[in-house]
Chains A and B, each alone.
Chain A
Amino acid sequence: MSDRLRLDQAAKILLGVWMAGIVVAMFLVVPQYVGLGDAGRIIILHVPTAWITTVAFAVSAVYSIRYLWKRRAADDAGAVAAAEAGFLFCTLATVSGMWFANIVWGTPWNWDPRETTILILLLIYAAYFALRSALDDLERRRRLSAVYNLFAAVTMPFLLFVAPRMAESTLHPNCAFIQGSHCDGIWLELNGTRVGQLGDVVLALQGVEQRGDLAVAQVEVRMPGLQNVAVLAPTFELMSGKPADRPEFPGQQFLLAIEEVDLAKGRVLLNMEAPGSGLLSNSRTFWTFMAANIGFLGLFIWLYRLRADVLLLQDRLARREVAYEPSV
């Protein structure tokens, strides 16, 4: 027993040092991300917390299954503790994401698929706690909240499937952000569809012409809410078939690029690109990010197990009080 305690103590100290190291590395080891500045460092905090949120939800569901199967108080304590820790990480991920989005994308909330999913997850956790507080009988509280937890887990796949259909495009890192991944882009034509949307930006093609071995397009860009309207002129190297000049969207740190051009028909394939190089392709960022994932996972396990022990202890104390009460 004392050996286990000593091991626990050592693990706790190691975890503390590890997390402190990550916080330091986040600012000193990770290089500044070109175009995003210091805001890019949030990847070390934001992505692991978001990922732990889903892990917590799954852990809680597994404990709920075990509770309904074996009806042990320890399993219920595990389910609650995992849900509580998950709620904490969920809030952290949401707030840090909104903060970052406000700086970089100019709006804290965009009904981006991941934003939708995490908001609904937050609501499910809140509903789970509300249900628990409304059930007085201990056994019934455990049983019914386990049922609700599992029932909510059944709807999650639909949410993951439906959420991407809500917005036409996403600002989240699956397409414009990480190098190597690819947005589809849109074709605009002078003699056809001249107006289109990339994300929530409206683009209108005004002209394409050849200047030397460059193709130059005139594109009117309207930002969401018509906050900014500008005419950008991205260019394309006809010889090498690569985008040349990528102007920045007004008020946002994204770039507009021509990916293909057909001068004869006046057709242009326009796409949105994140500035700078890929964030995780930098090895220092990559390893700090991986270390942060491990650290946050450890933090989650420590938190929920501690909370589960406390819950069990409370339960035992309450039962002892009942046992000592003089019978009426």
Chain B
Amino acid sequence: MDQHVSSRSTVEASAPAAAPGAPLLAAAWAVFRKDVRSELRTRYALNAILLFAVSTVVAMSLGMGPLTVSRNADLPIIQAALLWVAILFAAFTGLARAFVQEEEARTAAALRLSTRPTAVFLGKLLFNLALLLLLVVVTTVLFIIMLRVQVGNPGLLAALLLAGSLGLVAATTLIAAIIARASVKGALFAVLSFPLLAPLLVVAIQGSANAIAGRGWESGVGSLQVLAGYTIALFTASLFLFNSVWEP
């Protein structure tokens, strides 16, 4: 606690909105803005994630050409699985960046002094969500154009992509904070995240297949409910556990 007081002057110079006494949401917003600004300077995560997504979709399109229903009756589920695999692996390359970068640039200690753990977590979560939503939009649009996917129920697909992204971010932000302290970061992120994301992936792929096949909203409500429950459970658990991760 004493450290907070003594470091206040330096902290205020670097991040004025995130003073230790600031309300939680304001502090979280300041962390988010700091991350966005530093990301826009280097564009590391942005470039990595988007190019990865583009290469995946181009590789699929090159390998298979446009798939048509006449050639395969299981087409919707195949397309939904491919789309989610592309999103998942692109997310694995970029979502750990928010925390890894703090450790690599040795700014984590400064961040620890500037604001409370929950604000850091919420700020990073928001940043990851923004990054992932951008990725999902780019990947999905490219995927639909290049593989000539005919989406029967675009509204449901969009809702599932949004709900899936929320769940994905809720699950991976805490893991990103964990692996930022480890010695092999990249591979570990995917290894730790995948088993936890398995339920989300199954539900999201099945729901998306229904949306691509053009079934009505009632076919996707169950999936959306499970995704919402998953997001809430993991978000709450993260809030409880993040303090232990963020200790120096």
Which residues does A use to contact B, with CB under 8 Å?
A: 68, 116, 120, 123-124, 126-127, 130-131, 134-137, 140, 143-144, 146-148, 150-152, 154-155, 157-159, 161-163, 165-166
- Which residue of A120, A123, A148 contacts B178 across the interface (Cβ within 8 Å)? A148
The reply to whether A151 and B199 contact each other, CB–CB distance below 8 Å, is no
18 residue pairs bridging A and B, Cβ less than 8 Å apart: A116-B198, A120-B198, A127-B191, A134-B179, A134-B182, A134-B184, A143-B244, A144-B244, A144-B245, A147-B174, A148-B178, A152-B196, A155-B195, A162-B203, A162-B226, A163-B202, A165-B202, A165-B206
Bound CA span A130–B234, Å = 22
Given A131-B192, A161-B199: A151 in contact with B183 (beta carbons within 8 A): no
Given A130-B191, A131-B182, A134-B182: A151 in contact with B244 (beta carbons within 8 A): no
- Which residue of B188, B202, B237, B247 contacts A151 across the interface (Cβ within 8 Å)? B237
Say yes or no for B89: interface residue by CB 8 A criterion: no
Say yes or no for B175: interface residue by CB 8 A criterion: yes
- Which residue of B174, B182, B188, B244 contacts A68 across the interface (Cβ within 8 Å)? B244
The B interface is mostly helix, strand or loop, or mixed, namely helix
**Smallest CB gap from A125: residue in B:** B195
Shortest Cβ distance from A173 into chain B, in angstroms? 23
Which residues does B use to contact A, with CB under 8 Å?
A: 171, 174-175, 178-179, 181-184, 188, 191-192, 194-196, 198-200, 202-203, 206, 226, 229-230, 233-234, 237-238, 241, 244-245, 247
Q: In the complex, which of the residues A136, A143, A162 has the most CB atoms of chain B within 10 Å of its own CB atom?
A: A162
Taking A155-B233, A155-B234 as given, write out 16 further A-B residue pairs in contact, using a Cβ cutoff of 8 Å, ordered by the A residue number.
A68-B241, A68-B244, A123-B198, A131-B179, A131-B182, A131-B192, A134-B183, A137-B181, A147-B245, A148-B178, A150-B237, A155-B230, A158-B226, A158-B230, A165-B203, A165-B206
**Smallest CB gap from A147: residue in B:** B241
Shortest Cβ distance from A146 into chain B, in angstroms? 7
- Which residue of A137, A140, A159 contacts B199 across the interface (Cβ within 8 Å)? A159
Listed from nearest, the 5 A-B pairs whose CB atoms lie closest are A134-B182, A123-B195, A158-B199, A162-B199, A154-B237
